[in-house]
Amino acid sequence: MAVSTGIEKLDEILDGGFQENRTVLVTGPPGAGKSTLAMNFLQAGLENDEHCTYISTEQTPDELRDTFEPFSFDLTDELFTVLSLHARPGSGTDQYDQGTIVETYGADRTDDDVDRHLLRTLEGADEIDDHYIDFTPANLREFFRCNISGDRVVVDSISGLRSVSENEQTYRRFLLDLIQLINDHHDATALFTAESSRPNTNGMQTGQFSVDELTQYNLHGVIRLQRNRLRGTDRRLLEILKMRGVAYDDRTFELMFDDEGIRILPENRTFSSTLRVTNHVPTGIDGLDTLLGGGILSGESTVVQHDGKAEVGGILYVILSNILKEERSIALLPRINSQPLFLQSVFERLGTPMDDLLDDDRLFVFDHHGVWDDHQNIFKSAEDESGIKSAMTTIHDRSRSQGVVLSLDTNTLRHMLGEETTRQVRSWLQSSVVTATDAIIDIHNPALLQDDLAAFHVDLASQLLETWMNDTGLQYVQLHKSPTGDTGAVRLIEYLDKPPYVRVVT
């Protein structure tokens, strides 16, 4: 069951929110928004009539009130408990007088006083307890066991509990016990904050210790906040590093403050569908269609860039076969090394026999090397600008379908026509040939094109997909540009031995 984070967009990113009775770590540098995000989480619980506990190891109750004063958080709610644990060495002569800690370090101080700490407890606006404890793992576990109550718990921050042990293994064991105590014994959902060990913008370490490495493997989820300088302005960023059992959005988002606490932006990464009339040609690969927001764009062009190592031809033929099954026609300019027998066997296995498609005026092929058998829909003379234009006019006149999808290998087209003529032909196709029911797919390896020609195709396209293979042999696809879909999202490509043969995994 999902528990709301109190931030609408963050709930969406996390597919509903935090998992119930689990603990999530929020890490980041000072001022990134960790405490405010934590209070948003508790405020959502208060509005749902849940008991909430806020444990601060770095701020007094008065400091917390000052911190949250700009926001609409209800710190006086009777369901809200604050525990202020000052995890700092004290002394045997420390005195508490009217809300003030007076620390005296003198000759009377003994070693036994070093690890004594002030604990101040409040419920709503009323202070109810104030005492010292020996700061040991056993004492703190007992304190948390006896004093925590509620459905939601925040510990802000676990960095302030570091002095419980100089030994990292003991500290980690204490945190594991604390997590189990909160999640299992108290049946609560928890959020921990910690200073990040990652460098800040000036390259200095922002945390006192490597809390990320110490704790993130033992926690259900990790959210990282950052502060970056962008063209002279300070930007706060949010990224989900880990969330077990949740299909979360792993992209980077911006974070800002408003009266209600934290707001996550952008709400959408593509132009509003209510303002744009967009039709799609489904690729037949569910995960890819989801990434694209429905499929390739009808009436426009889509660029598919590859690195020369990733599989492209097989994916393309699966897509084209699926499009053909939807009563559309295909005009294909294949890669230079494509062989007719290979293409014929692929289409046959995919259930769209190539010979039947040619005879039915559904498939048209530009034969740039004269290796295809003679057929009225195999265009052998399309080797220059006039030949391409004549063939495209014939294809539109002859096609007996609801639209034509042109699949053009840009590297082959440039090899046939040269760079400048390729520009002219592509501009002509886009402006004079493609109708509202047609579509163009341009496929190329940018490394084999002049930079300006690759940039020309990207500028001309309404969608830009990139696919590549990394050093581990895994193939990915990313949507860089589109008026619809999840721009910026990266997906894994998986190949199957049976239909649908290709899967794009979220």
Residues 324 and 396 in one domain: yes
Residues 6 and 144 in one domain: yes
Residues 204 and 287 in one domain: no
Is 384 domain-assigned?
yes
Q: Identify the top-confidence range among 60-64, 100-104, 210-214.
A: 60-64
Q: So what's the pLDDT on residue 292?
A: 95
Residue 456 and residue 442 in contact, taking contact as beta carbons nearer than 8 Å:
no
Q: Give the pLDDT band of residue 211 (cuts 50, 70, 90).
A: low
For residue 443, give the CATH number of its domain.
3.40.50.300
From 233, 265, 297, the end of a domain falls on 265
How is residue 184 annotated by DSSP? I
Percent of the chain surpassing pLDDT 70: 85
280-295: average pLDDT: 95
> For residue 229, which of 266, 263, 203 has the smallest C-alpha distance?
203
- In three-state secondary structure terms, 94 is coil
> Which residue range is the domain that position 374 belongs to?
280-505
Is 18 domain-assigned?
yes
* pLDDT, mean over the chain: 85
Residues 373 and 404 in one domain: yes
Task: Provide the pairing of β-strand 95-97 with 100-102.
Answer: antiparallel
Is 426 domain-assigned?
yes
Residues 285 and 257 in one domain: no
CA angle 111, 113, 116 (to 5 degrees): 135
How is residue 162 annotated by DSSP? G
Distance CA 95, CA 91 (A): 9
Measured distance between the N- and C-terminal CA atoms of the chain, rounded to whole angstroms: 21
Is 458 domain-assigned?
yes
Q: Tokens 């770590």: give the residue.
A: 25
Residues 447 and 482 in one domain: yes
Is 54 domain-assigned?
yes
From 238, 265, 292, the end of a domain falls on 265
Residues 371 and 485 in one domain: yes
Structure-token pair, residue 147: 């004093």
Least confident of 87-96, 255-264, 300-309: 87-96
Residues 236 and 137 in one domain: yes
Residues 415 and 486 in one domain: yes
pLDDT digits (tens, 9 = 90+) for 188-207: 999 999 988 654 444 434 44
Distance CA 419, CA 176 (A): 63
Distance CA 505, CA 287 (A): 6
Q: So what's the pLDDT on residue 303?
A: 98
**pLDDT > 90? residue 240:** yes
395-414: average pLDDT: 91
> For residue 189, which of 6, 308, 42 has the smallest C-alpha distance?
42
- In three-state secondary structure terms, 61 is helix
Residues 345 and 231 in one domain: no
Is 102 domain-assigned?
no
Query: Exposed, middle or buried: residue 430 (CB in 10 Å: 0-12, 13-18, 19+)?
Result: middle
Beta strand ranges found along 319-436 (DSSP E):
329-333, 363-366, 378-379, 404-409
pTM of the model: 0.76
Residues 490 and 368 in one domain: yes
Is 99 domain-assigned?
no
Distance CA 430, CA 423 (A): 11
| The amino acid at 250 | D
Q: So what's the pLDDT on residue 252?
A: 94
pLDDT digits (tens, 9 = 90+) for 432-464: 889 999 999 999 999 999 999 999 999 999 999
Q: Tokens 């003529």: give the residue.
A: 421
Residues 430 and 353 in one domain: yes
CA torsion through residues 483, 489, 493, 499, sign: negative
Is 98 domain-assigned?
no
Q: Pick the more confident residue, 14 or 60.
A: 14
pLDDT digits (tens, 9 = 90+) for 90-127: 433 333 322 222 222 223 334 444 445 555 555 555 55
**pLDDT > 80? residue 88:** no
> For residue 327, which of 382, 400, 271, 381 has the smallest C-alpha distance?
400
Structure-token pair, residue 349: 């296995």
> For residue 27, which of 201, 161, 245, 213 has the smallest C-alpha distance?
213
Q: So what's the pLDDT on residue 137?
A: 81
How is residue 374 annotated by DSSP? P
The count of structural domains within the chain is: 2
Q: Give the pLDDT band of residue 164 (cuts 50, 70, 90).
A: confident
CB atoms within 10 A of CB 492: 13
From 265, 288, 309, the end of a domain falls on 265
CA angle 448, 303, 435 (to 5 degrees): 130
Q: So what's the pLDDT on residue 504?
A: 96
Task: Provide the pairing of β-strand 475-481 with 463-469.
Answer: antiparallel
Residue 56 and residue 82 in contact, taking contact as beta carbons nearer than 8 Å:
yes
pLDDT digits (tens, 9 = 90+) for 316-356: 999 999 999 988 999 999 988 788 888 888 888 888 899 99
